Amino acid sequence: MYLLTCKDFLSELNEYLDESADPELRAQLEQHVNDCPNCWVVVDTTKRTLQIFKNLEPQDIPERVHRRLTEALQRKIAAGPPSAASR
Amino acid sequence: MSSTNRTDVFDEAPLLERARAGDARAFTELVNRYERRIFRLAKHITQNEEDAEDVLQETFLKAYSHLGEFQGQSKFYTWIVRIAVNESLMKLRKRKSDRMVSLDETIDTGEEMVVREIAVWDGNPEQRYSQEELRQILEKAVDSLRPPFRTVFLLRDVEELSTEETAALLDLSVPAVKSRLLRARLQLREKLTRLFKRKGDDVFAYL
């Protein structure tokens, strides 16, 4: 089996993280990450980076912004129903 | 305001049905669910609070007007993200000036993917930092990415659009989305590792 270099591994990192590699490539990537402590750390810290972003709750929007949006919507709604309702 | 912000934990079909039939309260509920995420996305893309306010408003007004065109093949949230991204990009184009870097700027694809920081993280940052501290760290990290990387990262990894959806929305090829996403992920990993690494664990950089 062709042995991947670290550079090869990194260029396929998305496929590895997103589990989108075909089985043969997947096996090569697995083998590399098991044998290479540096790439293992890169994988681990990248996974944690993505996770921490996914877990982040968006902040409440400022009350003024929420009110402005609500008022604009109320005006729009008062002007008529969405297109589906009139079909 | 809604406490739930994930798109996949509830079945919103009945709510959408009511909104489509002209039930204003149902539509308002959808707005309350997603306004925070749309505002955050618009702020990151436009890098301007006022523009983000306009984008937020335009997005939901357009969504209401065009609700009949939403066929339900994609999630409602994905549909409004598309509107919000288009509105944000329009803002950018209108305001295009020397200080703004275009989203379509040419990316030097020959640029190496450099990985300098190789160190394990010190425990779990989500336990070590407050939500507010963490939010500031993460938002600063995202905003420091160059616009073409930032937008692809936000759509793929934060809003969870597919590679194909992201490519179509940004008028990019699938390989371009993949390559930008890889750079963005590696750059963010690098930035966060600098802050979160266990001291004394540095390994020599490779590549």
Does A52 map to a domain?
yes
Where would I find the H helices in chain B?
13-20, 24-46, 49-65, 76-94, 125-128, 131-143, 147-153, 163-170, 174-196
Q: How many CA atoms lie within 13 A of B156 on its CB side?
A: 27
Which of B39, B174, B191 is the mutation pick for testing A, counting most A CBs within 10 A? Answer: B39
Cβ–Cβ below 8 Å for A85 and B22: yes
Does A85 map to a domain?
no
Domain that residue B144 falls in: 104-207
CA of B100 vs chain A CAs: smallest distance (Å): 25
Does B112 map to a domain?
yes
Contacting B residues, span 72-111, partner chain A, CB-CB under 8 Å: none
**B110 pLDDT exceeds 50?**
no
Q: Which of A13, A76, A86 sits opposite B64 (nearest CB)?
A: A76
CATH of the domain at B168: 1.10.10.10
- Average the pLDDT over each of A68-77, B45-54, B104-113 and give the range with the smallest value: B104-113
Does B51 map to a domain?
yes
Task: Tell me, yes or no, whether B66 and B150 share the same domain.
Answer: no
Cβ–Cβ below 8 Å for B189 and A54: no
Residue B135 contacts A where some CB pair is shorter than 8 Å: yes
The values of phi and psi at residue A52, to 5°, are -65, -35
Task: Tell me, yes or no, whether B90 and B113 share the same domain.
Answer: no
B91: Cβ–Cβ under 8 A, 6 or more apart, which residues? B46, B48, B51, B54, B55
Does B8 map to a domain?
no
Task: Tell me, yes or no, whether B71 and B108 share the same domain.
Answer: no
Write out chain A in H/E/C secondary structure: CCCCCHHHHHHCHHHHHCCCCCHHHHHHHHHHHHHCHHHHHHHHHHHHHHHHHHHCCCCCCCHHHHHHHHHHHHHHHHHCCCHHHHC
**B111 pLDDT exceeds 70?**
no
User: How many domains are there within chain B?
Assistant: 2
User: What's the pLDDT score for residue B104?
Assistant: 52
Does B99 map to a domain?
no
- Average the pLDDT over each of A4-8, B23-27, B95-99, B181-185 and give the range with the smallest value: B95-99
Instruction: Report the C-alpha gap between B57 and B35 in whole angstroms.
Output: 9
Domain that residue A51 falls in: 6-79
**Residue in A closest to B194 by C-alpha:** A45
CATH of the domain at A51: 1.10.10
**A86 pLDDT exceeds 50?**
no
Burial B2-31, CB ≥16 within 10 A → b, else e? eeebebeeeebeebbebbbebbbebbbbbb
**B72 pLDDT exceeds 80?**
no
Which of B4, B18, B118, B150 is the mutation pick for testing A, counting most A CBs within 10 A? Answer: B118
pTM for the whole structure: 0.86
User: What's the pLDDT score for residue A81?
Assistant: 74
Does A11 map to a domain?
yes
Task: Tell me, yes or no, whether B82 and B122 share the same domain.
Answer: no
Instruction: Report the C-alpha gap between B139 and B108 in whole angstroms.
Output: 25
